Amino acid sequence: MESTNDTISLTRDCIAELIPSGEKIVLIKGEKVKITQALGGTYTLYINGNLAKLAGKDADAIGKPVELPDEDAHHDAGIDVEEELVWEKLKMVYDPEIPVNIVDLGLVYDLRLTPEPGGGYAVLVKMTLTAPGCGMGPSIAADAEYKVGLLPGIKNVKVELVWEPLWNRDMMTDAAKLQLGML
């Protein structure tokens, strides 16, 4: 996880999401930010006393490289997709306030990989959040949909937020608990 005390000046205007509300805000070129977390291709920024999530597609605004998807591979519907690859993509999704991926946090309850007519696969993920009122839920779900959708052979991804069973700390892996100082 990258974190820095260095102040960075934004090189261009971009959209970010205020944490924890998920409200969209505009970051203005020249504003000063600090990176507090850089995991899974997204960045949590400290700006004017607030935290904001910056999508990886806008990483150039903070001087970081932008990773673009391989569009040709994405459209190859003839590729077999293994479930383990989908789980690996989900492990690249992070709550912008917690330095542990959503799989190790125990937020992913179900994953279904279904062949689509004409080739390719549909993915349905059922997940929850650490707190039902978390405004970042739609953002985290969209990040999961985007990352899973980058896999070659995936034609459709839906992430559904569910609230039963209620999440609790016992759902985390031991590695997650250790990383968060809970073991």
Task: Sheet containing 154-161: give its strands across.
Answer: 108-115, 121-127, 154-161
Residues of the chain with CATH 2.30.30: 8-62
Q: Which CATH class is domain 8-62?
A: mainly beta
Convert 79-112 to b/e letters by CB count within 10 Å (16 or more is b). Answer: eebeeebbeebbbbbbbbebbbbbbbbbbbeebe
**Span 124-163, pLDDT tens digits:** 999 999 998 888 999 999 999 999 999 999 999 999 999 9
pTM of the model: 0.84
Residues of the chain with CATH 3.30.300.130: 71-179
Distance CA 161, CA 170 (A): 19
What's the chain's average pLDDT?
Answer: 91
Q: Is a pLDDT exceeding 90 seen at residue 180? A: yes
Domain 71-179 falls in which CATH fold?
GMP Synthetase; Chain A, domain 3 (3.30.300)
First to last CA, the chain: 20
Query: Mind listing the pLDDT tens digit for each residue in 46-69?
Result: 999 999 999 999 999 999 998 766
* pLDDT attached to residue 69: 60
User: What's the pLDDT score for residue 149?
Assistant: 94
How do residues 61-93 score in pLDDT, each as one tens digit? 999 998 766 554 455 556 788 999 999 999 999
Please give the DSSP secondary-structure letter assigned to residue 127. Answer: E
Are the C-beta atoms of 19 and 138 separated by less than 8 Å?
A: no
